[in-house]
C-alpha cells in the first residue's frame, strides 16, 4: 500500500469535473489499481514516479514534441510553444540542455501544489540567478524534480523573452521565439517532432508525492532564496 498511497490527487485532467462515475478507475479492485500504478514503461518510453495515465489509456505515454501556440490575453498576442515528453532515462538532461540557451543570468519560478489538494498551484519567483549556480542547485534536487508530481519549475529570461518549463507532469514546455535551437536540442536527444501526438495531461491521470518530497521542496525553495510561506 505504500506505493498506492502516494497517488492522491488529480485523478481527472485539469478542468474536468471530478465526477466519480466518469472515471476509468471505477470498479477496480485495489490490487488492479495498484498494479496499474506500478506500470512505468510503455514501449520504449519510461515515466518518472510523478504521474500515471488513466486505466483505460486514452493517452499512451510516448516520447516526442509538438508545436503549439499560447494565447497571451493581456497582450493579445500568440506565443509559439514547443511541448515535449522524454523518457525518464534522460528527461532531466534534456531539461538542463534546454535552459542553457536562456543566457548567463535568468529568473526562476518554482511551482507547487503540495498544499492544494483541490487543484491549482502556488508560484514563487526568484530574479537574477547565475546559470551555473542554478544548474548546480538543480542537480542536487534531480530526484525531486523528476519524481514529485507536485513540483514544477520554470526558467526564463524576460529580456529575450523565452521560458523553459518543467511542469508537475514532467512535460517540457518552451515558450517564445525563435524555437529552432530548442528543437535541435530535443532532436539531439532523440526527441522528435510528432505534431499529432497527445500528452498525459490531455486525459485522466493521477499525480504522486510524499512527505519526503515536500521536505525536499522546502529545502530547494530556501536554496533558491524563496523563503516565503505558502499562500
pLDDT digits (tens, 9 = 90+) for 139-164: 999 999 999 999 999 999 999 899 99
Do the Cβ atoms of 60 and 42 come closer than 8 Å? yes
Percent helix, strand, coil in the chain (nearest 5)? 30, 30, 40
pLDDT, position 8: 43
Q: Which residue has the cell 499560447?
A: 70
Mean pLDDT, residues 170-189 taken together: 96
- Which residue has better confidence, 166 or 76? 166
Please state, for a pLDDT cut of 70, what percent of the chain lies above it: 85
State the pLDDT confidence band at 117, using cuts at 50, 70 and 90: low
Q: Which element (helix H / strand E) includes 176?
A: strand 172-176
Q: What average pLDDT score do residues 153-176 get?
A: 95
Is the per-residue pLDDT at 10 higher than 60? Answer: no
Query: Above 90 in pLDDT, residue 13?
Result: no
Sign of CA pseudo-dihedral 178, 83, 183, 47? positive
The overall average pLDDT reported for the chain is: 86
SS3 category, 26: coil
Percent of the chain with pLDDT over 90: 64
Residues 130 and 149: their CA atoms lie apart, in Å, by 27
Spatial separation of the C-alpha atoms in residues 43 and 149, rounded to whole Å: 22
Domain locations in the chain as residue ranges: 2-60+200-211, 67-197+212-223
Amino acid at each position: 500500500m505504500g506505493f498506492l498511497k502516494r497517488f492522491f490527487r488529480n485523478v481527472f485532467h485539469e478542468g474536468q469535473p471530478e465526477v466519480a462515475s466518469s472515471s476509468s478507475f471505477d470498479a477496480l479492485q485495489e490490487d488492479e489499481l495498484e498494479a496499474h500504478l506500478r506500470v512505468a514503461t510503455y514501449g520504449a518510453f519510461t515515466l518518472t514516479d510523478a504521474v500515471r495515465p488513466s486505466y483505460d489509456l486514452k493517452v499512451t505515454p510516448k516520447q516526442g514534441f509538438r508545436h503549439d501556440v499560447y494565447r497571451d490575453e493581456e497582450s493579445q498576442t500568440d506565443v509559439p510553444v514547443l511541448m515535449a515528453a522524454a523518457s525518464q532515462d534522460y528527461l532531466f538532461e534534456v531539461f538542463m540542455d534546454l535552459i542553457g540557451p536562456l543566457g548567463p543570468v535568468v529568473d526562476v519560478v518554482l511551482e507547487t501544489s503540495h498544499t492544494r489538494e483541490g487543484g491549482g498551484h502556488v508560484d514563487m519567483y526568484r530574479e537574477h540567478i547565475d546559470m551555473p549556480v542554478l544548474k548546480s542547485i538543480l542537480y542536487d534536487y534531480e530526484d525531486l524534480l523528476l519524481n514529485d508530481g507536485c513540483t514544477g519549475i520554470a526558467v526564463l529570461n524576460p529580456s529575450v523573452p523565452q521560458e523553459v518549463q518543467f511542469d508537475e507532469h514532467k512535460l517540457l514546455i518552451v515558450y517564445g521565439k525563435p524555437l529552432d535551437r530548442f528543437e535541435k536540442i530535443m532532436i539531439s536527444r532523440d526527441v522528435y517532432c510528432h505534431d499529432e501526438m497527445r500528452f498525459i495531461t490531455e486525459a485522466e491521470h493521477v499525480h504522486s508525492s510524499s512527505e519526503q518530497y515536500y521536505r525536499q521542496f522546502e529545502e530547494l525553495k530556501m536554496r533558491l532564496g524563496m523563503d516565503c510561506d505558502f499562500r
